[in-house]
Amino acid sequence: MLATALISWDALLVAFAALGELLAVLFVYRVLVRGGAPASTVLWMVVILAAPWLGLLLYYLLPRRLQLRRLHAVRQRGVRFRAGRERDGAGAAAVPQSCGGLRAFLAGADSADLRADNELRWLPSAEDFTDAAMRAIEAAEIEVDLLVYIFRADRSGARLLEVLAAAASRGVTVRLLYDSIGSFGLHDRDLVALRAASGRAVAFLPLLWKRRPFTVNLRNHRKLLLVDGKVGFVGGRNVGDEYFTDRVGRERRWLDAMLQIRGPSVAHLREVFAEDWHTATEEALPPLPAAPPVSGGAACAVGIVCSGPDREQSDLWFAFVQAIADAKQSVDLSSPYLVPPPTLLFTLQLAAARGVRVRIHTNGPKAEAAVLYHAQRSYYERMLAGGIEIYETTADYNHAKVLVVDADVVIVGSANMDLRSAHLNFEIAAVALDAPELGRQVLATLDARIADCRRLRAEDLPSDPFWRAVDGFCGLLSPVL
């Protein structure tokens, strides 16, 4: 009897191992035909073949894309609506025969939807943003749409929820969409008043989304506030005390930035929100009429670019690379972390080699995530050798995600310059063209912040073998950070 039982268990284990090997081969084929970065593809192949069941489990639990066929219909509705606006002449951006590569890209990409005649307002401080945002919500007549990665139930979060609930109680449609992981501290009890006033609050991709567990790898990192389809805010600020007060604890400053937009491009921001709302709820929102063009010499052409696991093409990263490639005089890039995708790093190095002044504004050793800091430091030697200037914060925390090229092109959005933002997060940015006044204001803000930063030199890099090894090891982890 015992011998028979042992034989049965041996046969079961052999069958289990054989099934694992068969599935491993099938999934390796799937990884190969799916494409992607060679390093990532090789890593998945090695893990799946070396430990089939563990590799398959990780491959299932850490998805890189969303299969959203129904979302295609929502996007097509947005494309048709934009086409109708263009036939009516609502803010269509004329593209000259001789134009820069970035303008040509934005004008040619349907999803970018380049629109002229927008009024832009630079909001570098918490006071600037909160004052403008609260005024806009309090004046709302039709709807308020808010999308954030982090929504904290602290004093600032409670204050905003009160303003949203007040808007909902007077008949304004209020929709709050927050990332389920980024806003894990936000609970149903915090949303009672908003929902009692008929406001909607929905978590984006919870862990058991559509009965598939652990979508933790795919996060909505966008920050959007839209009011009546007329005014929109986009940038790096979430909802919480540090974002609304520009303070981290008692001593450190929080450096961030938002851009306010009035004009036809707000309609495209609303379409992006509608897509994310549909992903979370499967509800299709009706389009709103485009805001009228803004007249005046300061009006700018604006394109809205996105990236994410629900898109085949990353217009956001195409725009970043093309903007830097077009640079003739200067590039200023601000990001909390700098673990750049290879193409972005190459483009920055090439710009510096052409004689363009390239400045990087990022966080120093007191960065929020030590592993990310050491990973970004593994790139410093190549950057400095190529003539790129690097400015690190010494005590403050820089959360601003901004690119300024030739003091004329400005990109403000939600994306960090790292591989997670490039490949896994839902991200968004506004690209302003022919915006010298905005460019001047943004550069003035960055120049003022440089006063409290240190410029790195080659001799500032670690020479100790241990820390060089730490930086190198963290750099190897950059694809999963």
- What is the torsion angle, in degrees rounded to the nearest 10, for the CA atoms of residue 358, residue 359, residue 362 and residue 364? 110
Distance from C-alpha of 436 to C-alpha of 440, rounded to nearest angstrom: 6
Residues written for the chain? 481
Number of separate helices (H) and strands (E) present in the chain: 17, 18
Distance from C-alpha of 200 to C-alpha of 280, rounded to nearest angstrom: 12
Which residue in 322, 331, 332, 382 sits closest to 362, CA to CA? 332
- What is the torsion angle, in degrees rounded to the nearest 10, for the CA atoms of residue 189, residue 195, residue 197 and residue 198? -170
Q: Which candidate in 128, 190, 241, 406 is catalytic?
A: 406
Q: Which candidate in 113, 179, 228, 408 is catalytic?
A: 228
The vertex-405 CA angle with 403 and 410, nearest 5°, equals 50
Enter the tokens of residue 469.
Answer: 């090894």
Side chain identity at residue 385, one-letter code: A
Count CB-CB contacts under 10 A for residue 147: 27
- Is 268 tagged catalytic? no
- Is 223 tagged catalytic? yes
Classify residue 448 as exposed, middle or buried by CB count within 10 Å of its CB (0-12, 13-18, 19+): exposed
Distance from C-alpha of 255 to C-alpha of 126, rounded to nearest angstrom: 9
Distance from C-alpha of 88 to C-alpha of 92, rounded to nearest angstrom: 9
**Residue 350: its H or E element:** helix 342-353
- Is 401 tagged catalytic? yes
Distance from C-alpha of 292 to C-alpha of 294, rounded to nearest angstrom: 6
Which residue in 66, 81, 423, 110 sits closest to 279, CA to CA? 66
E strands present in 186-267: 200-204, 224-227, 231-235, 247-248, 252-255, 258-262
Q: Which candidate in 113, 117, 179, 223 is catalytic?
A: 223
Q: How far is CA 292 from the centre of its chain?
A: 27
Q: Is 70 helix (H, G, I), strand (E, B) or coil?
A: helix
Q: Which candidate in 230, 278, 361, 399 is catalytic?
A: 399
Q: Which candidate in 179, 221, 246, 276 is catalytic?
A: 221
- Is 221 tagged catalytic? yes
- Is 399 tagged catalytic? yes
Which residue in 254, 266, 275 sits closest to 366, CA to CA? 254
- Is 366 tagged catalytic? no
Catalytic machinery residues: 221, 223, 228, 399, 401, 406
